[in-house]
Amino acid sequence: DIVMTQSPDSLAVSLGERATITCKSSQSVLYSSNNKDYLAWYQQKPGQPPNLLIYWASTRESGVPDRFSGSGSGTDFTLTISSLQAEDVAVYYCQQYYSTPITFGQGTRLEIK
């Protein structure tokens, strides 16, 4: 199984500041035949299901604010929120869909400082 490890486990950032979450996979999730990284990011607010933010490591889902961006390739990935808003308080998860079992990171809790 591919193990996804996020850091940090929790993060407090001031409003308007940048928030950065990293995700590391235990093996590469880059598929050589199409040069795509099989990595997604989700946001989950209390009492709600996960909400897709990013897929293919850096493609923003329709309707997601452009302050959210994804980067990285192979085994190391980053989710960046360029200017934190109050509504961004949530838990963030990375997910690899390169191989089954599909696996998620343990989550990063983002709070306002």
Q: Which residues bind other proteins (CB under 8 A)?
A: 38, 40, 42, 48-52, 55, 61, 93, 95, 97-107
The CB-of-82 to other proteins minimum distance in angstroms stands at: 22
- Minimum separation from the CB atom of position 95 to other proteins (A): 7
Residue nearer to other proteins on the CB measure, 2 or 13: 2
User: Contact, 110 vs 92, CB < 8 A?
Assistant: yes
Q: Check residue 61 and report its DSSP letter.
A: P
Nearer to other proteins, 59 or 85 (CB): 59
Nearer of residues 3 and 15 to other proteins, judged by Cβ: 3
DSSP 38-60: -EEEEEE-TTS--EEEEETTTEE
What does the chain come to in residues? Answer: 113
Nearer to other proteins, 16 or 63 (CB): 63
- Alpha helix segments (H runs only) across the chain: none
Smallest separation, CB 13 to other proteins (Å) = 21
Q: How near is the Cβ of 111 to other proteins at its closest, in Å?
A: 16
What percent of the residues of the chain are helix, what percent strand, and what percent coil, each to the nearest 5? 5, 50, 45
